[in-house]
Amino acid sequence: AQSVTQPDIHITVSEGASLELRCNYSYGATPYLFWYVQSPGQGLQLLLKYFSGDTLVQGIKGFEAEFKRSQSSFNLRKPSVHWSDAAEYFCAVGAAGGGNKLTFGTGTQLKVEL
Amino acid sequence: GAGVSQTPSNKVTEKGKYVELRCDPISGHTALYWYRQSLGQGPEFLIYFQGTGAADDSGLPNDRFFAVRPEGSVSTLKIQRTERGDSAVYLCASSLGRRGGENIQYFGAGTRLSVL
């Protein structure tokens, strides 16, 4: 069965500082990997995805993530955080078959200090 | 509309009552998904439709939960004899349903269900 671990429940960074949110997955084959962001009262917005090819993927809002098969990781990074980035971030893994139903981590709540 | 639409945005009901939650997917999306998000948790998969049929309902917690998509577009999630533990945000997503598998799911804002 597939699973996702986001070890950091809460992270606080200062505006302008760099950010890395950790994600580890468990899946038997090459996974499809996603990062979504959720603001209060909002649905999930896709930040970026990995299906295949280049292991460093770029997303919206200046985010990027790197797929590392050897570490079963897909960490999300941003070089300089903005106050508007405060939200909850979810990593998810999807199967190549089965309609790509997603398995999500428990999320990381990001707080940005001004 | 351009995105996935879910109604109502909030639903308060009493224990034992029946509720229906509606999802209107992005036009042209053949795949539709329901997830449930409890407080402090990530979304959990409930059911997936490809067209009109439920292709995978392995996430439905018990037989009180049922979902339909009769015309391959709008879907309704139905919960019978609601329990307090059913309180959560119910999220709907849709995707193009490509056979190759590289599908991106677009989510609605969710329905917050509160069972008193």
Between CA A75 and CA A3 the distance in angstroms is: 15
**CB contact B48 to A (< 8 Å):** yes
Residue pair A47/A63 in contact (Cβ under 8 Å)? The answer is yes
Per-residue pLDDT tens digits for B68-77: 999 999 999 9
pLDDT in tens, B62-100: 999 999 999 999 999 999 999 999 999 999 999 988 766
CA distance, residue A97 to nearest chain B CA (Å):
6
The predicted structure's pLDDT at residue B101 = 65
Cα B79 from Cα B44, distance rounded (Å): 16
Sign of CA dihedral B55, A42, B84, A94: positive
Average pLDDT over every residue of A81-86: 96
Both tokens assigned to A84: 């508007």
Residues paired with residue B19 on neighbouring β-strands, in sequence order: B79
Strands (E), chain B: 5-7, 10-13, 19-24, 31-37, 44-50, 53-56, 65-68, 75-79, 88-95, 106-107, 111-115
The answer to whether residue B39 neighbours chain A at the CB level (below 8 Å) is no
A90, B41 contact by CB (below 8 A): no
